[in-house]
Structure 1
Amino acid sequence: MEEEQSPGAAGGGEHHFLQDVEVKKENPADEVAPEAEEEDEDSLPHSEVLDIFEEGLARLVQDPLLCDLPIQVTLEEVNSQIALEYGQAMTVKVVKADGEIMPIVVVQNATVLDLKKAICRFMELKQQREGGVKHVSWRYVWRTYHLVFQGEKLEDDTMRLKDYGIRNRDEVTFMKRLRKK
């Protein structure tokens, strides 16, 4: 496409742009009224927009990088998966008393408290997706159970997981606390 320049125009490209703007103004059939644009945006019901979004999200999580994520993925989960790929995070396999393994993603320099918060968030999301128990008393859980790695209790919430020797893909288990008499 060749640009048209008028004699004496210093910035030929700019002049061509201005000509296009003038042409658009001269041809009212090409213009779209602001009301029409709003009508186009409002023409899809919310449920259809959600369906379109969920279809796109389903295609997104088919990517090999994100294939481990659930269909109803959150932005937080996508960011965690990306951090894992870049080596900025690690997965800690938390084994519940019933044998279920929860893959919990935490940053590399996470503390025991960070791991506990991530476990809470993981369970919250799982409950939202599957239904079931609506409320878990985490105060009760942490009062009743220890997190244990290779026989050592993770008692100090401020201590980093690295300091306990926990690395990517290591297993941490819930162990019932012994009652003090």
Structure 2
Amino acid sequence: MDVNIKEEYETGDGIKEEDAEEELPHAEVVDIFQEGLAMLVQDPLLCDLPIQVTLEEINSQIALEFGQAMTVRVCKADGEVMPVVVVQNATVMDLKRAIQRYIQLKHQREGGIQHISWKYVWKTYQLSFSGEKLDNDEKCLREYGIKNRDEVVFVKKLKKK
């Protein structure tokens, strides 16, 4: 797949004219984009992001800087802590979706597990904050008292007898 890049310039009378049309192969366009992206993540606000950053990650980081989002630290049983970014008025369901996106991106970058049954995960485990189970998906995280940089843990659900 080739990409056409047209260069335009304004003449003295304000009329735009096409200067040249350059065809670049797809691989070269991707390289140019990656170079630009690498320069972008060198910005002090975005330097914490991985090299293969997504637009969603950039937007989340910018929202964090402007106070429109918060980081919730999700602790797994193996001790791993996942910094998950959600908007300030996020619900428990929003947090669950953010955890899913975080883990899927992580697995894509590391070449790990291709498919996770999230239905099974949420049926077997639940999130907990300060000993309180986050069992209502529609409830805002703020209603549970969760603020920026607070820790939420995965706990195994107990079977009801």
> Could you tell me the TM-score, scaled by structure 2's length?
0.87
Q: What stretches of structure 1 move > 2 A for 4+ residues in a row?
A: none
Give ranges in structure 2 of 5+ residues lacking alignment. Answer: 1-11
Counting only pairs closer than 5 Å after superposition, residues 95-134 of structure 1 correspond to structure 2 as 95-134=75-114
SS in 1 for 2:154: strand
Could you say which structure has the higher strand fraction?
2
SS in 1 for 2:13: helix
Equivalent residue, structure 1, for 2:59? 79
User: Against the structure 1 CA distance between its residues 45 and 170, is the aligned structure 2 distance closer, same or farther, given a 3 Å change threshold?
Assistant: same
Alpha-carbon distance, 1:122 to partner = 0.9
Query: Which stretch of structure 1 is more off in the superposition, 50-59 or 132-141?
Result: 50-59
Equivalent residue, structure 2, for 1:54? 34
For the aligned residue pairs, the C-alpha RMSD in angstroms reads: 1.9
Alpha-carbon distance, 1:17 to partner = 2.0
AA aligned to 2:151 is E
Give the number of aligned pairs: 150
Whose Rg is larger?
1
Equivalent residue, structure 2, for 1:13? none
2:17 maps to 1:17 = no
Give ranges in structure 1 of 5+ residues lacking alignment. Answer: 1-15, 22-29
**Could you tell me the percent identity over the aligned residues?**
70
AA aligned to 2:13 is F
Q: What is the distance in 1 between the residues matched to 2:125 and 2:94?
A: 16
